[in-house]
Structure 1
Amino acid sequence: MGIQRCRVADRACRCPRSHPGHGEVVVDLAAAGLCHTDVGITDGTMAEILGFTPIILGHEAAGIVSAVGDGVDNVSVGKRVAVSAMGDGKSGVLGQKNIGVGRHGAYAEKTLAPASEIIALPDEVPFEQAAAATDAGMTSYHAVFVRGGLRPGTKVGIIGLGGLGMTAARLAVLGGGEVYAAEINPRVHAAGIERGVKQVVGDVKELAEFELDLIVDFAGFGTTTAGAIEVVNNGGRVVQVGLGRSEATINTHLLTMKEVELRGSIGGTPADTVEVLKFISSGDLTISTKSIGFADIGSGLEQLARSEVGGQRLVALFD
């Protein structure tokens, strides 16, 4: 494929090999989701997570297998697949060789991936939903069910009804939770109610009246973290996902006296993505997406940076 212009950084990037090695798969991309992580990479605040530069970004990928290498027996040419955004799901982001972070990503015609990262798609799942599921879906599921430990009947608070928070709220409802949310933008409150949230308030501290066992913070502006610790039940759990600020001042007296558990959550595992795809396939979950063209990826990331997307996930569809 030679040299391809990197759509995001506007630098010449060498495209990945179009032929697979042992244990590798080539995927012809049909959809690539846009993520705020890529905004952080391009503005420099998260550039340290990259394995090398220049690099083709994009870690939410779905498409059709066009070639398989020796030793691959879990997928064949022509199959509809997604690529795990978190690799093996065991090493987090830093130090990984994940798609769009440690190797060339989905803002290209093709991507090369280990067969172990390939996830088969149910026929009922469109490519744009599959791409969004690999990150927005996976991250939300992992925070709510794995780190949050949601069980049927759990009273849950979701802070921030953006792309992740909206998906997490719906997943919590599907998991049998009694779900409430705090969101400063009143224009998205109705969308939360449509997804099964019982009530949406404008400020974290207004969640106190609902006596919540679990709060998942998808905003992460410091005050939201501190507010969650203040309003969660005694013995409750707060899961931190959002990184609106890199530091927070919290009331350690309340943390201790209430025996609140504070957990971080980032990404997830291929197994989490599979669970999300099951919800989508059943028709119970639709991740809110907005389709754009491949040429619009750069402007789409600029929209994300300006917080102009609301509760939707931008997904680039390939011709």
Structure 2
Amino acid sequence: MRAWQFEGLEKGLVLNEVPEPEPGEGEVVVAVRGSGLCHSDLTYMKNPAAMPFLPMTEGHEIAGVIAKIGPGVTGWSVGDRVGVCPSGVAAPAGVFRHGGFADQHVCPAADLARVPDGLSWALAAAATDAGMTSYHAIIKRGGASAGKKVGVIGYGGLGQIATRAAVLAGAEVHVCEPKTEVWDLAREAGAVGVVADAAEWAKQGFDLVVDFAGYGTTDKALAAVKQKFGGRGEPGKVVQVGLGTGRLDVAVHQLLGRDLVGSLGGTVQDIEELYDLMVRGELTPYVTQIGFEEIGAGLERLAAGKVTGRLVAVWGEDG
């Protein structure tokens, strides 16, 4: 079968022919129909020392059809439509084990989410990481709900899903995004206001800000959320998701009376809740679809900042 594999800093990503995987105890083999391209893929390939072996098949946003079932697996059948949770019981795909930029992918059955009939493979794949991570951060970790004033920093692949999820939860949502060309998309998703710099939100008493950027934006997010004095009221919360520069530069006084937490990944339940919203047409993120052969070039586009929304490769008999 075909697989896009990272062979090291010198050779980079190469399209190889590799053996088909076989499922072990508690595992299934998924015939991949959709696989999302993520900035994390680029980050992983800059740090090959973290990988236990090379070449490594990349890709961790995976959806497809069960092709083989291993011993001990119950509740699943060959032909079932599934998405694969990248933050489940298995080690992260594309870093510590082979990922989904391949015709087939082996994973634990415990990490499978059911894909409803009628949902496209592009959306099914995007929901497994971009969707799950953003949904978990803003709904489960952040607690976005009716009556809350919520800010979303970064209207990319994750921010667009978080924005819409919070709107559907009844929150008043504001977006910070320097790329003015996507402002209309944010408004269409239900954002009531859009700014280029989160500094414009200072002292506006937000209940929650989720930072999907991390490029000097966390300090601004803290300045935007309300501050608790003594026993009065609830502290505003900032949920950090974006890795940005890899470090936080936060003024200590901004932390006083405010909550700063991190959010990483999510659950199979998060994915299935998103699938429900998507198949009902309530949440439809902007996705650019490419073919399997375009994955290498697609990652180059992503690295150059030339992708709006989420980039997803779709292929196969019913892709």
Which amino acid counterpart does residue 26 of structure 2 have in structure 1?
Answer: G
* Residue in 2 that maps onto 1:253: 253
Is the partner of 2:202 in helix, strand or coil?
helix
Structure 1 residues 5 and 37, CA gap change in structure 2 (3 angstroms): closer
Q: How well do the aligned residues superpose, as a CA RMSD in angstroms?
A: 1.9
SS in 1 for 2:56: coil
Superposition deviation, residue 59 in structure 1: 0.5
Partner Cα separation in structure 2 for residue 244 and residue 86 of structure 1: 20
Cα gap change, 1:233 to 1:125, in 2 (>3 Å): same
Please list every run of 5 or more consecutive structure 1 residues that lacks an aligned counterpart in the other structure: 89-95
- In structure 1, the partner of 2:292 is 294
2:315 is the counterpart of 1:318: yes
What's the TM-score, normalizing by structure 2?
0.90
Match of 1:274 in 2: 272
Find 1:115's aligned residue among 109, 118, 121: 109
Cα deviations by residue, 1:167-186 (Å, 9 ceiling, x for unpaired): 11011101111100111111
Q: CA deviation at 1:220?
A: 0.4
Partner residue of 1:226?
A: 219
Q: How many residues matched? A: 305
SS state at 1:149 partner: coil
Q: Are 1:98 and 2:95 counterparts?
A: no
- Which shifted more, 131-140 or 280-289? 280-289
Pairing of 1:161-310 with structure 2 (within 5 A): 161-208=155-202, 210-222=204-216, 224-234=217-227, 235-256=235-256, 259-310=257-308
1:147, distance to aligned residue in structure 2 (A): 1.5
Bigger Cα displacement from structure 2, 208-217 vs 195-204: 208-217
The 5 A counterparts of 1:132-171 are 132-171=126-165
1:21 matches 2:20: no
* Alpha carbons of structure 1 residues 287 and 12: separation in structure 2 relative to 1, 3 Å: closer
Report the TM-score, using the length of structure 1 for normalisation: 0.90
Kept in 2, the 8 Å contact 1:156–1:179? The answer is yes
Cα distance in 2 for partners of 1:73, 1:295 equals 34
Given that residues 33 and 315 in structure 1 are in contact (C-alpha distance below 8 angstroms), is that contact kept between their aligned partners in structure 2? yes
The verdict on how the C-alpha distance between 1:13 and 1:97 changes in structure 2, with shifts beyond 3 A counting, is: farther
Moved more, 195-204 or 118-127: 118-127
User: Which amino acid counterpart does residue 219 of structure 2 have in structure 1?
Assistant: A
Cα contact 2:154–2:212 (8 A) shared by 1: yes
Q: Which moved further from structure 2: 8-17 or 77-86?
A: 8-17
Preserved contact between residue 35 and residue 314 of structure 2 (Cα < 8 Å): yes
Task: State how far apart, in whole Å, the 2-side matches of 1:52 and 1:214 are.
Answer: 41
CA contact (8 A) 1:7 1:297 kept: no
Percent of aligned pairs sharing the same letter: 44
Q: CA separation of 1:262/1:114 partners in 2, compared to 1, >3 Å: closer, same or farther?
A: same
Give unpaired runs (5+ residues) of structure 2. 228-234
User: Does the residue aligned with 1:163 lie in a helix, a strand or coil?
Assistant: coil
Structure 1 pair 103–7 and aligned structure 2 pair: CA distance change class (3 A): closer
Change (3 A) 1:270 1:52: farther
State yes or no: 1:38 paired with 2:41.
Answer: yes
